[in-house]
Amino acid sequence: MKPLALIIVVGILFGIATLILSSSGESILGSFPPLKALVNKNKNANKKIETSNIFRTIDEGEVWFPQSNTISADTKIGNIGVLDIALDVVDSNIGYVGTASNGLYKTINNGQNWEKLFDRNQVLLPNAGVLRVVQDTRKPDNIYLAAYQNERGVFLKSTDKGLSFIQTYIAEYDKYAVSAITVDPKNSNVIYIGTTQGGFFKSSDYGSSWEVIEWITGSISEIVINNRNTNEIYVATSDRGLFRTEDGGKKWKNFAKEISKAAASNQVKSIQIDPTNANILYLGVTNGLLKSLDRGESWKFLEMLIPPTNLPIDSVKVDPTDRNNVYVGVKDLIYKSEDGGTNWSVKRIILPTKEKRISVITIDTKEPQSVYLGIR
């Protein structure tokens, strides 16, 4: 090749290379799908992944995706600590989210959009901590909140699905929250609440008035009722283990000794009753997951895939439609067993920060393949 021709060819090749490497070169590469894919991949390589404090799966945990992050122009779900998620008992497209210090939120389209609920009565404060959201399955307009505002725990009741609230209980002392609520599944006029001071209270008139049932020696974290025998109630505490009454609260059994034989902790984060066999219990404690086959009289420590550095267990949920499906949240990992806790699979959730943890697991009872995670 003659020197002049060689110079011309080199110049042409150099010009093409420069064009490809420049930002304007994207329009040329874009006309070739394989090259366009490479360009887009490189463009997005350093793009920050947008995450959320609410995740959902629609295939029983195979794939988890963040729910809509933006609430308003200046507020994102990723900036709000989620304490509870409750799905409407009539229409599970509707959901309620209790937050650590931002009140109550609602979705009407499976979490695609969220709206903050502002109480018409101005009883529920915009900066309230909403620890539990419970809906009456027989009177679905009734929604109950275990909340903390103005440095005191309160029980709030709505009869119009959260448009307005009234307050029917307030803690006697500052710094103590109402931390747990459960509604009797057979008689929904009966409601139980628990406080971080250890108060276990009962209402027989849909939460309008209260009576003291027992002062538990521990900060109450959760209350669950045996669906077949509603006089049998378990009360979990975050510092003193597990308690049970079989007569509606007259006599109590403390399971501290039984739990100590299987685990080195009496700090109970979560308790679940098998939906088809009330003899079977699951207990999430600070150093692992326990299972009982005899209503708490003995416990087995379930071997899981959890590194000790990720403990404690933060949340446990048994599928109400399939007793073999058990979900456990630990830090940024969601574990699932399909055989009642013998074998486990694990998925990692991309959380907003390293300090965040999976605080709540909610299963859609109408479509159990749909599961929500709340992050705090």
The predicted-structure confidence for 189-237, as pLDDT tens digits, reads as follows 999 999 999 999 999 999 999 999 999 989 999 999 999 999 999 999 9
> What's the pLDDT at 68?
73
Q: Is 146 helix (H, G, I), strand (E, B) or coil?
A: strand
DSSP codes joined into one string, 81-131: -EEEEEE-SS-TT-EEEEESSS-EEEESSTTSS-EE---TTS-S-TT-EEE
Which candidate, 243, 307, 236, 308, places its Cα nearest to that of 270? 236
Tokens read off for 190: 């009966």
Count CB-CB contacts under 10 A for residue 124: 24
pLDDT at 41: 42
Cβ-based burial of 226 (10 A; exposed 0-12, middle 13-18, buried ≥19):
middle
In this structure, are residues 210 and 201 in contact, taking their beta carbons and an 8 Å threshold?
yes
* pLDDT at position 16: 44
Q: pLDDT at position 32, please? A: 33
Residue 37 confidence (pLDDT) = 37
Phi/psi at 258 (5° precision)? -65, -40
3-state secondary structure of 372: strand
pLDDT for residue 309: 83
At residue 72, the pLDDT reads: 62
Smallest CA-to-CA distance from 258 within 299, 230, 311 is with 299
Rounded Cα gap, residues 68 and 77, in angstroms:
8
**What residues contact 246, with CB distance under 8 A and at least 6 apart?**
229, 231, 232, 253
Q: Which residues of the chain fall short of a pLDDT of 50? A: 2-4, 6-48
Separation CA 183–CA 230 (nearest Å):
10
- Contact between 375 and 354 (Cβ < 8 Å): no
- CA 229 vs. chain centroid, Å, equals 27
